[in-house]
Structure 1
Amino acid sequence: MKLLLRTLLLLLLLASTQVIAQEAKNSNVFLITLDGVRWQDVFTGVDMNLLNSDYTHNKDELTKKFVGKSKNENRKMLMPFFWNTIAEEGQLYGNRNKGSKVNLTNTMLFSYPGYNEILSGKADDANIDSNDKNYNENVTVLEVANKSETFKDRVAAFASWDVFPFIINDKRSGVPVNAGYMDAVGVLNEKEKFLNEIQRQAPIVWESVRLDVFTHHFAKEYIKKNHPKLVYVSYGETDDFAHDGQFDFYMKSLLNTDAFIADLWNYVQNDDFYKDNTYFIITTDHGRGEGVQEDSKWTGHGSNVKGAEHTWIAILGPNIEASGEASEGQLFTDQIAPTVAKILNLKIDSRNMPAKPISLK
């Protein structure tokens, strides 16, 4: 009897090991967004006009931190992971100074429509024309994955903005979403318990958007415990600091977010489940203005703000040609969801996601 039990346990362990090994062979995707970050900031670094404007409160500090001898040096100082790792090992699109363009296809040019376009693969101006907490009728790539046999219960989303349960439609999709000031739930480790305890003890800068450090660490702890195959992480501080006219905090937040993404990348490259089979796709929900004039105000975005339709995309992962910064070419934000689907070999309805995936050479 004991021999039989030992044999059964050995077979179960072997089967479990084979399942884990097979899952590890399948590609994983981390889809990451930075709210309202302009292509200019990514590709040219600190904006000298904004540095010298009333939006900056400590020019000397920002100059020391972000101003080098050239724009290329400036962008490395602002986003070192992007320019020391992604530019060397992956692909970057959206430097309009070099003819590389990424555009939104929705005409609203603010957050909910932008995130819907990123996640569902199509604009929906007729139904999504506000940031109100209405459940999204469109099916996101997260939902497609979560309802597939391969990725069922292997999808998760973490966001700083509290509207994301509605954008992802967590009730219909079944995708677990931790957003705003939501606590981690389920069987928690000590770090998650601590994060639950302190996230509202930290300064509440905005009631609808928590600080990104909490979103990041909630996501990372979940990832370490559960190893989801498709993860969505949405950092939100940058847009809100810009709306507040706080260029200092916007820049520091962008630097911090670059470090968060580097932290996730370093983790997956040292985790047997994720190493060498995980793609990072990074983008933004909209652009924003360039200056201080009303129709191009840096603090704003929307259909009345010049340049708010201009975005960018960064891609890093296995089987990605290390082509770095693209010159010339046109991409659109609605191509991101079908690209995720292609990487994961998800079956999608082309009527719902009509755009072509990005060609990942």
Structure 2
Amino acid sequence: MKTKKYLVLIIALVGVIAVHAQKDTTKVILITLDGLRWQELFTGADPLLVTNKEYVHDTTGLKNRFWRETAEERRAVLFPFIWNEIKNIGQIHGNRFKESKVDLTNQMWFSYPGYNEILTGSADDDRIHSNDKIPNPNKTILEIVNQDNRYNGKVAAFGSWDVFPFIINEARSGVPVNAGFELASGDNLTDREKFLNELQPVVPSPWGSVRLDAFTHHYALEELKKNHPSLLYVSYGETDDFAHDGAYDSYLKSANITDRLINELWDFTQNDTFYKDQTLFIITTDHGRGTEPLKTWKGHGKDVNGAGSVWCIAFGKGVAPKGELQQEEQLYSSQIAPTILEALNITFPKHLSKGNALNLR
């Protein structure tokens, strides 16, 4: 009988140790805002656009909401979470006015190549040179992490753009991807997921391949609550599509709302025992946009000056609170993938170097 009791006690102790070990393991939430310019992130509403009637329906209303006299005030009213909270606990890179530079290494400067670079750690201009729905021949970090026994089934991705199942190569990787106009699936849907499944088909999106970010966000938030993934990728898409439409007012409003959505993800992790103080957040964009001539703010691509200039934000576990970097530095989007692998203690694939990870300490 004693032996049996000891065996039960040992099993219980092992279970407790395993649970605590899991809680103490780093988790990562990677977030992208499609095509958000570094200019708005660091200086707020553009003075050449905010009252430009070609791109703004209600110039007076938009100016009242987002215009302030200084760049610091404008960016804070546009991105209150980033500039009032993240600035104090994390790092914000990419203000080229202060010689902090973040660039793409791919030369395409549009979405699929940008996401491939972020998610794989290297450019592949020979094979990734369009936005076509072609299964990615490269392994993303999502696939690499999902193949590790410690994280199998603990990786998930949510995107507004319907190309993400191909970028992540859902069929090969086994990583569940909810993107475009997909609904939540499975036998244990929450009441919120069921509601979103009813709502999404009857709320029209302005675009044929990109859903509204609110659906992407709330599907992702339900995933955090229900399954507690160790690596979650969330890609918001509205900013890019409103910019392509030439709707600067909607572009700014969407950016402002996305700041609030990111705040909601952070607040959830800080009130959940699985994520609290154990979660690294990284936020970036897949490409920049033009500035000169002014009309190129709507576009991007290799022929658009400045479209390869991006930005990167990090906060949470393992990140020193350096705030806005105001010194000369050169970072690249390709450094994000090795940073995440290092945080999760994953063996690096041959094409990536651990030395390329961002130094966030």
What TM-score does the superposition give when structure 2 sets the normalisation length?
0.95
After TM superposition, the structure 1 = structure 2 runs for residues 192-231 of structure 1, keeping only pairs within 5 Å, are: 192-231=193-232
- Superposed displacement of residue 17, structure 1: 3.7
- Superposed displacement of residue 52, structure 1: 2.6
Alignment match, 2:251: 250
Query: Structure 2 CA distance, aligned partners of 1:181 and 1:12?
Result: 45
Query: Structure 2 CA distance, aligned partners of 1:11 and 1:225?
Result: 29
Alignment match, 2:107: 107
Alignment match, 1:51: 50
Q: Is the 8 A contact 1:55 1:245 kept in 2?
A: yes
The code of the aligned residue for 2:343 comes to I
After TM superposition, the structure 1 = structure 2 runs for residues 161-200 of structure 1, keeping only pairs within 5 Å, are: 161-186=161-186, 187-200=188-201
Alignment match, 2:281: 280
Alignment match, 1:154: 154
Is the partner of 2:281 in helix, strand or coil?
strand
The code of the aligned residue for 1:169 comes to N
Aligned residue pair count? 358
- Superposed displacement of residue 185, structure 1: 1.0
Q: Percent identity?
A: 51
The code of the aligned residue for 2:43 comes to T
- Superposed displacement of residue 225, structure 1: 0.5
After TM superposition, the structure 1 = structure 2 runs for residues 12-51 of structure 1, keeping only pairs within 5 Å, are: 15-51=14-50
Deviation digits for residues 151-194 of structure 1 (CA, Å, limit 9, x no counterpart): 11110000000000000001111111000011111110111001
Query: Structure 2 CA distance, aligned partners of 1:307 and 1:338?
Result: 25
Deviation digits for residues 115-134 of structure 1 (CA, Å, limit 9, x no counterpart): 00000000000001100000
The code of the aligned residue for 1:258 comes to D
Query: Structure 2 CA distance, aligned partners of 1:211 and 1:242?
Result: 14
Alignment match, 1:239: 240
Find runs of 4+ consecutive structure 1 residues off by over 2 angstroms: 3-20, 291-294, 352-355
Deviation digits for residues 193-215 of structure 1 (CA, Å, limit 9, x no counterpart): 01011111112211210000000
Q: Is the 8 A contact 1:334 1:355 kept in 2?
A: no
After TM superposition, the structure 1 = structure 2 runs for residues 263-342 of structure 1, keeping only pairs within 5 Å, are: 263-293=264-294, 297-327=296-326, 328-342=328-342
Provide closer, same or farther for how the CA distance between residues 6 and 176 of structure 1 changes in structure 2, counting only shifts above 3 A: farther
- Superposed displacement of residue 141, structure 1: 0.7
Is the partner of 1:48 in helix, strand or coil?
coil
The code of the aligned residue for 2:207 comes to W
Is the partner of 1:37 in helix, strand or coil?
coil
Alignment match, 2:129: 129
Query: Structure 2 CA distance, aligned partners of 1:9 and 1:253?
Result: 54
Q: Is the 8 A contact 1:162 1:181 kept in 2?
A: yes
Deviation digits for residues 216-260 of structure 1 (CA, Å, limit 9, x no counterpart): 000000110110000000000000000000001000000000000
Q: Is the 8 A contact 1:122 1:355 kept in 2?
A: no
Structure 2 residue 144 is matched with structure 1 residue 144:
yes
Q: Give the gaps of 5 or more residues in structure 1.
A: none
Query: Structure 1 CA distance, aligned partners of 2:191 and 2:210?
Result: 24
Is the partner of 1:347 in helix, strand or coil?
coil
Alignment match, 1:62: 62
Provide closer, same or farther for how the CA distance between residues 49 and 291 of structure 1 changes in structure 2, counting only shifts above 3 A: farther
Structure 2 residue 118 is matched with structure 1 residue 118:
yes
Query: Structure 1 CA distance, aligned partners of 2:215 and 2:9?
Result: 40
The code of the aligned residue for 1:101 comes to K
Query: Structure 2 CA distance, aligned partners of 1:268 and 1:6?
Result: 38
Provide closer, same or farther for how the CA distance between residues 142 and 262 of structure 1 changes in structure 2, counting only shifts above 3 A: same
Query: Structure 1 CA distance, aligned partners of 2:73 and 2:223?
Result: 35
Provide closer, same or farther for how the CA distance between residues 60 and 8 of structure 1 changes in structure 2, counting only shifts above 3 A: farther
Is the partner of 1:242 in helix, strand or coil?
helix
Query: Structure 1 CA distance, aligned partners of 2:255 and 2:308?
Result: 20
- Superposed displacement of residue 150, structure 1: 1.3
The code of the aligned residue for 2:320 comes to E
Deviation digits for residues 264-307 of structure 1 (CA, Å, limit 9, x no counterpart): 0010011110000101000000000115556xx11100001010
Provide closer, same or farther for how the CA distance between residues 349 and 175 of structure 1 changes in structure 2, counting only shifts above 3 A: same
The code of the aligned residue for 1:303 comes to K
Q: Give the gaps of 5 or more residues in structure 2.
A: none
Query: Structure 2 CA distance, aligned partners of 1:268 and 1:354?
Result: 27
Moved more, 8-17 or 116-125: 8-17
Alignment match, 1:346: 346
Query: Structure 1 CA distance, aligned partners of 2:358 and 2:286?
Result: 17
Q: Is the 8 A contact 1:158 1:177 kept in 2?
A: yes
Query: Structure 2 CA distance, aligned partners of 1:43 and 1:162?
Result: 29
Moved more, 329-338 or 3-12: 3-12
The code of the aligned residue for 1:88 comes to N
Query: Structure 1 CA distance, aligned partners of 2:69 and 2:302?
Result: 35
The code of the aligned residue for 1:177 comes to V
Query: Structure 1 CA distance, aligned partners of 2:355 and 2:58?
Result: 44
Q: Is the 8 A contact 2:348 2:354 kept in 1?
A: no
Deviation digits for residues 77-119 of structure 1 (CA, Å, limit 9, x no counterpart): 0001110111111001000000000000000000000000000
What TM-score does the superposition give when structure 1 sets the normalisation length?
0.95
